[in-house]
């Protein structure tokens, strides 16, 4: 199974108000494992950068003016995504912007299968905070590099969160619990595991795959520190955030 973890940064909250994409990041997963393939582009929005958005991602209009517009990267982006299943945190936000850019260019909108990790997290942990930061803290994923929002770094974090949401931590916890159960005579299965000891082996393998994927993600994205091309936020602007549960 091929999945694409995707994130965007934008000039604002709604493309209907003239806001545009300024950064796109994607990480390919194959059978829930990072394949090593990454797509990352900064995009010239062909408009000014509001201070509120700049305070979130630190991408200035001057920096972005040196990069191509979305029209110049769209074919490469669509080729990378292909027919992969999209993994997005608050998918409505990102898809709204991507499809707006595609419509602007007269192209078909994305019709891929989508897994919204925000909805997934809310189903698994009702009433708990479900922002990307909150989920990273829940799963003990290192957030020290996330001083600003960034599409590729956020993809790396989201990929790690997604692996946990689909069972990584739960399987590891169950494995520890099963190991602590009392056993019967030699050769008998642990109590409570009808049919033998197969489930702990399956869970152990799944946990090992999740841990391996996490280690691969740690080395996959080189830009884990803020880009030197990003200027410090203007005074008073550091508190501005987007309402996108990121």
CATH number, domain containing residue 162: 3.30.420.10
Query: Does any domain span residue 241?
Result: no
209-242: per-residue pLDDT in tens? 556 555 556 655 543 333 434 444 333 333 333 4
Record the pTM. Answer: 0.74
Query: Does any domain span residue 219?
Result: no
Hey, which residues are catalytic here?
A: 149
> What is the rounded distance in angstroms from the CA atom of residue 54 to the CA atom of residue 59?
6
105-120: per-residue pLDDT in tens? 999 999 999 999 999 9
Domain range spanning residue 105?
2-168
Q: How many domains does the chain have?
A: 1
Q: What is the largest CA-CA distance in the chain?
A: 73
Which has more confidence, 241 or 161? 161
210: buried, middle or exposed (CB in 10 Å: 19+, 13-18, 0-12)?
A: buried
- For every residue of 122-188, DSSP letters joined together read HHHSTTS--SHHHHHHHTT---TT-SS--HHHHHHHHHHHHHHHTTHHHHHHHHHHHHTS-B-STTP
pLDDT above 90: residue 201: no
- Contact between residue 71 and residue 37 where contact means Cβ atoms under 8 Å apart: no
pLDDT for 200 equals 42
DSSP 3-state of 199: helix
Query: Does any domain span residue 210?
Result: no
63 membership: H or E segment, kind and range: helix 61-64
């Amino acid at each position: 199974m091929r999945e694409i973890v995707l994130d965007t940064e934008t000039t604002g909250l709604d493309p209907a108000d003239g806001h545009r994409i300024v950064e796109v990041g994607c990480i390919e997963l194959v059978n829930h494992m990072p394949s090593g393939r990454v797509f990352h582009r900064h995009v010239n929005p062909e408009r000014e950068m509001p201070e509120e958005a700049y305070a979130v991602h630190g991408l200035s209009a001057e920096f972005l003016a040196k990069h191509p517009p979305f029209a110049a990267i769209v074919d490469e982006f669509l080729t990378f995504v292909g027919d992969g299943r999209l993994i997005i945190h608050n998918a409505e936000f990102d898809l709204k912007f991507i499809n707006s850019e595609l419509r602007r260019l007269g192209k078909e909108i994305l019709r891929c299968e989508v897994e919204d990790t925000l909805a997934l997290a809310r189903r698994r942990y009702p009433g708990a905070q479900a922002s990307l930061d909150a989920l990273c803290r829940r799963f003990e994923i290192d957030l020290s590099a996330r001083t600003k929002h960034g599409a590729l770094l956020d993809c790396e974090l989201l990929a790690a969160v997604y692996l946990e949401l689909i069972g990584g931590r739960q399987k590891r916890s169950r494995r520890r619990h099963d190991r602590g159960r009392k056993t019967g005579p030699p050769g008998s299965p642990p109590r409570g595991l009808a049919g033998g000891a197969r489930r702990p082996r399956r869970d152990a393998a799944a946990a090992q795959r999740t841990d391996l994927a996490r280690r691969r993600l740690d080395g996959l994205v080189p830009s884990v520190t803020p880009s030197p091309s990003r200027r410090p936020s203007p005074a008073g602007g550091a508190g501005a955030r987007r309402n996108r549960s990121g």
